[in-house]
Amino acid sequence: MLKEFAKRLSAKVRETDTVSRFGADEFTVLVTDIQERDGVALVAKHIMEALDPPFDVNGTERKMGASVGIALYPDDAADPDNLIKAADTAMYTIKVAGKGDFAFASEPAEDTAK
């Protein structure tokens, strides 16, 4: 299921972007050369849409959703480790709020989901 998840995720980003598995069921996507937050938000929406249809696991349909945390360089952090931490914190904000959405690290908690 994670392999199919990775394929769907990779299909929604550009060849110049990087998709990597970060942990058990966590993936990191490095998106470059997008100058506006709306462009990054659009990428997040496309990723979530790609993951919405059920997955076929040995003939059984399984649903898997996504909570997406977004951190922007250099606004949220100036180095890779802190960028990942900022995105991770934003992702957990969404998970606590009920999942299935995205949040920017730089937005206040009550205004994170778009």
Q: What is the SS3 string spanning 11-60?
A: HCCCCCCEEEECCCCCEEEECCCCCCHHHHHHHHHHHHHHHCCCEEECCE
pLDDT band at 77 (very low <50, low <70, confident <90, very high): very high
pTM of the prediction? 0.84
The radius of gyration computed from the CA coordinates of the chain, to the nearest angstrom, equals: 14
Percent of the chain with pLDDT over 90: 60
| Domains of the chain by start residue, with CATH | 2-111 (3.30.70.270)
Average pLDDT, the chain: 88
pLDDT digit string (tens) for 17-46? 999 998 888 899 999 999 899 999 999 999
Q: Is the pLDDT of residue 113 over 90?
A: no
